[in-house]
């Protein structure tokens, strides 16, 4: 994967390795003069590959809610030399604002979830593998952190978060243990939370199916960053921004995200939405998207071997009619 990046943008060892790059590139099929919106810029790995297809003519609009991405963007702009600008914010809001201001795009990419830089920097508090302050905000200026949720949400709310966003079997036991533990002293660090989770689940379950805190950490991250609502709002805004013939690609990393994308694509690709017993169409509804991936594309085994974080990635793409 690293070898596929243009020489000018070889990432550092700690940078995010972009997933499904060749597949995204083929589906978005940028040509010189087009406008590309990278709504999840991260370390700019996808943008670097795709910008090469613009051959110096065209525009890149980069979006990310994480302010630390600005340095990666500046590096990208210096090295690729394309016309580019960075907009910091939640993609659901930024895409809506761009669409409302009449900005149009030929291709849009959403590569969801967190970057390796976020996961691997202990001070961001995303990782269960190192003890660090409990945080998990992609945007460090937002009000709600994992610390807030774990110390202030009710037992039922925590249970629902763990069950819904983490599909955690022991959601109730873990929520109960958290509430009991925080009566003594509030949670401050990831390590405290990991210990409480481990103690709350039955011993045999601690050893199967990955790290025992993995699902709770995923669930908290999704809740802290309101990831599913952002995706649900971003898809119609992205569609509005696209020019006819424009392409939208979304890479998701868990089934909840993929379901939102699949449902949106299917609804937009439908023609008539009249009830099935109507003899003739009265709705006049026209499809707005043509689905380019009848099934989601998954990374090849070689890619997963080189980059285990790609394992759960699913790519769907569609074209505006
Ligand atoms: C998987 S990384 C993207 C990596 C990028 N494609 C690359 O090649 O380096 C996801 C990025 O999206 C950002 N992000 C996630 N949800 C967001 C949202 N709702 N609004 C803006 N940025 C978001 C994260 O901060 C993170 O930097």
Counting from 1 in the atom list of ligand 1, the atom nearest the Cα of 16 is 9
The answer on pLDDT for 114 being more than 50 is: yes
Alpha carbon of 114 to ligand 1 centroid (Å)? 6
The CB-based long-range contact list for 153-160 (8 Å cut-off, 24+ gap) reads 154/179, 155/179
Report the chain's mean pLDDT, rounded to a whole number.
Answer: 93
Q: Which two tokens stand for residue 236?
A: 């119609």
Mean pLDDT of 44-60: 96
pLDDT of 77 > 60? The answer is yes
Nearest ligand 1 atom to alpha carbon 226: 19
Residue from 114, 113, 133, 112 nearest 122 by CA: 133
CA-based nearest residue to 21, from 319, 243, 313: 313
Order across the sheet with 242-252: list the strands.
83-88, 59-64, 35-38, 105-111, 242-252, 314-320, 289-291
CA of 176 to the centre of ligand 1 (A): 32
CA distance linking residue 192 with residue 186, whole number of Å? 10
pLDDT > 70: percent of the chain: 95
What pLDDT score does 102 carry? 98
| Nearest-CA residue for atom 25 of ligand 1 | 66
| Predicted structure pTM score | 0.93
pLDDT of amino acid 2: 35
Percent of the chain residues topping a pLDDT of 90: 88
Residue 4 has pLDDT above 60, yes or no: no
Q: How far is the CA of 1 from the centre of ligand 1 (A)?
A: 19
Q: 81: pLDDT confidence band, cut at 50, 70 and 90?
A: confident
**Per-residue pLDDT at 106 exceeds 50:** yes
Q: Which of 43, 64, 87 to mutate to test the pocket of ligand 1 (most atoms within 8 A of CB)?
A: 64
Lowest-pLDDT choice from 16-20, 204-208, 299-303: 204-208
pLDDT of residue 9: 40
- List Cβ neighbours of 289 (8 Å cut-off, separation of 6 or more): 239, 248, 265, 268, 269, 318, 319, 320, 321
pLDDT confidence tier of residue 86, bands split at 50, 70 and 90: very high
Which atom number of ligand 1 is nearest to the Cα of residue 41? 5
Find the 90 Cα to ligand 1 centroid distance in Å. Answer: 9
> What is the rounded average pLDDT of the residues 75-95?
96
């Amino acid at each position: 994967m690293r070898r596929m990046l243009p020489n000018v943008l070889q990432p550092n060892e700690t940078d995010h390795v972009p997933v499904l790059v060749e597949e995204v590139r083929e589906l978005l099929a940028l040509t010189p003069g087009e406008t590309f919106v990278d709504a999840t810029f991260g370390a700019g790995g996808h943008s670097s590959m795709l910008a090469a297809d613009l051959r110096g003519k065209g525009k890149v609009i980069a979006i990310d809610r994480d302010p630390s991405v600005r340095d990666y963007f500046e590096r990208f702009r210096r090295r690729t030399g394309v016309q580019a600008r960075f907009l910091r914010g939640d993609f659901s809001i930024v895409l809506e604002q761009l669409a409302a201001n009449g900005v149009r795009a030929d291709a849009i990419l959403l590569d969801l979830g967190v970057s390796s830089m976020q996961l691997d920097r202990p001070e961001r508090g995303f990782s269960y593998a190192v003890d660090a302050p409990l945080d998990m905000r992609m945007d460090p200026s937002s009000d709600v952190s994992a610390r807030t949720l774990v110390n202030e949400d009710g037992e039922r709310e925590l249970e629902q978060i763990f069950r819904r966003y983490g599909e955690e079997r022991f959601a109730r036991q873990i929520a109960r243990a958290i509430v009991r533990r925080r009566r003594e002293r509030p949670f401050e660090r990831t390590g405290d939370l990991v210990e409480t989770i481990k103690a709350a689940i039955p011993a045999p379950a601690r050893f199967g199916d990955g790290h025992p805190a993995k699902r709770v950490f995923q669930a908290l991250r999704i809740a802290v960053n309101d990831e599913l609502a952002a995706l649900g709002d971003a898809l119609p805004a992205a569609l509005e921004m696209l020019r006819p013939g424009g392409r939208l690609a979304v890479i998701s990393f868990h089934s909840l995200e993929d379901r939102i994308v699949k449902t949106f694509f299917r609804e937009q690709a439908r023609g008539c939405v009249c009830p099935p017993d109507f003899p003739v169409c009265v709705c006049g509804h026209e499809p707005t998207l043509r689905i380019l991936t009848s099934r989601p594309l998954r990374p090849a085994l070689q890619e997963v071997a080189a980059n285990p974080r790609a394992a759960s990635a699913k790519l769907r793409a569609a074209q505006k009619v």
